[in-house]
């Protein structure tokens, strides 16, 4: 198990390095350079100042030299310094990674809980009204553009029923309050963005768990359990759900990348201070180092999510756990 994990990790690192190298070249081919943005932000600068800025950041060096330096520093855990903010990229990402993880995990929890519950209910009576309703809701959820969903929620909650805050992650004026007040404040701010993001994935989990529940409920061992007189509740939760969980886990891992993309849009809509908004600004400012850092971290999150999924799958599947 440990050896397997190490192999996965090493391979994941390789993939992450690949992501950085590919994007390094792509970004450098882009028209516009950070020196001009910095100069523009200063209200215009002389040619000498531009040259000095380029020299400061090593932008006047050959591309391969720059890449070499970048990768070398990265090996030592140094993601470089943001051109725009003159601050370490790791510090800037560090401030933003928490909110993104919080948003993504909250959405994941909401979508899996509600999605699976919907799927299970639908599977109990496959041809019932409820089942039909679930599949309609699932298809609708899948077809709604996530950012549009967010905007509709803002329209609804900003003026019509103002019970949820519609922007930001916390009321800054509460920053000196106790942890409980601040936590409640953050959860209060989290509600709408997490729900918007959860809707698409909810649809996926509902369909998936409905289908796999149907599969499992038809299986022999469930029939046996029923024949032995196990209660419906016990059949459903003890036997069926556990097995139906496997495909849900697999898909949850596979969806992680999509969840990050969705988070980028949701963060923009709700002014959520996460990595998505950081990356978006970095692209527009040609802040190469910051952008590469965010891409690297996003890739790392996907790799980690995949490994965690793998482990969860092994834990949940009695067959795999026993045999391998």
Q: Which of residues 29-58 bind another protein (CB under 8 A)?
A: 29-34, 36-47, 49-50, 56
Please write down the long-range contacts of 34-37, taking CB distance under 8 Å and 24 or more positions apart: 34/59, 34/83, 34/84, 34/285, 34/286, 34/287, 34/288, 35/59, 36/286, 37/83, 37/84, 37/285, 37/286, 37/287
- Shortest distance, CB of residue 45 to another protein, whole angstroms? 5
Task: Provide the CA 45 distance to its chain's centre, in angstroms.
Answer: 39
- Shortest distance, CB of residue 300 to another protein, whole angstroms? 9
- Shortest distance, CB of residue 78 to another protein, whole angstroms? 16
Q: Transcribe 19-61 into DSSP letters.
A: HHHHHHHHHHHSSS-HHHHHHHHTT---HHHHHHHHHHTTTTS
By CB under 8 A, the residues from 117 to 156 that bind another protein are: 126, 136, 139-140, 142-148, 151-152, 154-155
How far is residue 84's CA from residue 297's CA, in Å, rounded to a whole number?
A: 19
By CB under 8 A, the residues from 225 to 284 that bind another protein are: 257-258, 260-261, 264-265, 268-271, 273, 277-281, 283-284
- Shortest distance, CB of residue 305 to another protein, whole angstroms? 10
By CB under 8 A, the residues from 177 to 206 that bind another protein are: 177, 181, 184-185, 188
Nearer to another protein, 139 or 234 (CB): 139
Can you tell me which of 67, 74, 214, 246 binds another protein, judged by CB under 8 A? 214
Can you tell me which of 64, 77, 159, 233 binds another protein, judged by CB under 8 A? 159
Nearer to another protein, 94 or 321 (CB): 94
- Shortest distance, CB of residue 197 to another protein, whole angstroms? 13
Nearer to another protein, 4 or 231 (CB): 4
- Shortest distance, CB of residue 234 to another protein, whole angstroms? 23
How far is residue 276's CA from residue 285's CA, in Å, rounded to a whole number?
A: 14
How far is residue 273's CA from residue 91's CA, in Å, rounded to a whole number?
A: 14
Q: 157 vs 151, 164, 166, CA distance in Å?
A: 10, 6, 7
- Shortest distance, CB of residue 322 to another protein, whole angstroms? 26
Q: Which residues contact 193 (CB under 8 A, 6 or more apart)?
A: 103, 150, 266, 267, 269, 270, 272
Q: Are 33 and 286 in contact (CB under 8 A)?
A: yes
By CB under 8 A, the residues from 282 to 321 that bind another protein are: 283-286, 291, 294-295, 298-299, 302-303
206-226 in b/e form (b: 16+ CB < 10 A) is: bbbbbebbbebbeeeebeebe
Q: Are 190 and 168 in contact (CB under 8 A)?
A: no
Mask: binding to another protein, 73-112, rule CB under 8 A, as x and -?
A: ---------x-xxxx----x--x-----------------
Q: How many residues bind another protein (CB under 8 A)?
A: 100
Nearer to another protein, 73 or 142 (CB): 142
Output the six-digit token pair for 12.
């994941």
- Shortest distance, CB of residue 292 to another protein, whole angstroms? 10
**Interaction between residue 113 and another protein (CB under 8 A):** no
């Amino acid at each position: 198990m440990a050896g397997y994990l190490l192999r996965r990790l090493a391979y994941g690192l390789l993939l992450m390095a690949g992501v950085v190298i590919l994007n390094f070249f792509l970004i450098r081919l882009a028209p516009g350079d950070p020196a001009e943005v910095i100069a523009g932000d200063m209200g215009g600068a002389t040619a000498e100042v531009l040259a000095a800025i380029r020299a400061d950041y090593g932008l006047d060096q050959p591309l391969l030299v720059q890449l070499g330096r970048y990768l070398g520093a990265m090996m030592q855990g140094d993601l470089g310094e943001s051109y725009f903010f003159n601050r370490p990229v790791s510090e800037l990402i560090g401030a933003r990674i928490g909110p993104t993880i919080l948003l993504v995990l909250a959405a994941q929890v909401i979508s899996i809980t509600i999605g699976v519950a919907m799927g299970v209910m639908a599977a109990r009576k496959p041809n019932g009204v409820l089942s039909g309703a679930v599949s309609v809701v699932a298809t609708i959820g899948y077809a709604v553009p996530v950012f549009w969903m967010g905007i509709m929620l803002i329209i609804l909650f900003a003026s019509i029923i103002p019970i949820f805050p519609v922007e930001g992650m916390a009321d800054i004026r509460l920053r000196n309050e106790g942890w409980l007040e601040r936590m409640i404040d953050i959860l209060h701010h989290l509600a709408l963005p997490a729900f918007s993001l959860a809707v698409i994935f909810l649809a996926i989990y509902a369909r998936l768990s409905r289908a796999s529940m149907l599969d499992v409920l038809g299986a022999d061992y469930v029939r046996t359990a029923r024949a032995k007189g196990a209660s419906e509740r016990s059949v459903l939760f003890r036997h069926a759900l556990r097995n139906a969980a496997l495909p849900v886990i697999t898909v949850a891992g596979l969806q992680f990348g999509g969840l990050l993309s969705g988070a980028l849009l949701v963060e923009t809509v709700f002014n959520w201070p996460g990595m998505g908004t950081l990356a978006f600004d970095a692209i527009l400012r040609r802040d190469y180092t910051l952008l590469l850092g965010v891409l690297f971290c996003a890739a790392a999150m996907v790799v980690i999510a995949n490994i965690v999924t793998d482990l969860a799958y092994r834990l949940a599947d009695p067959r795999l756990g026993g045999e391998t």
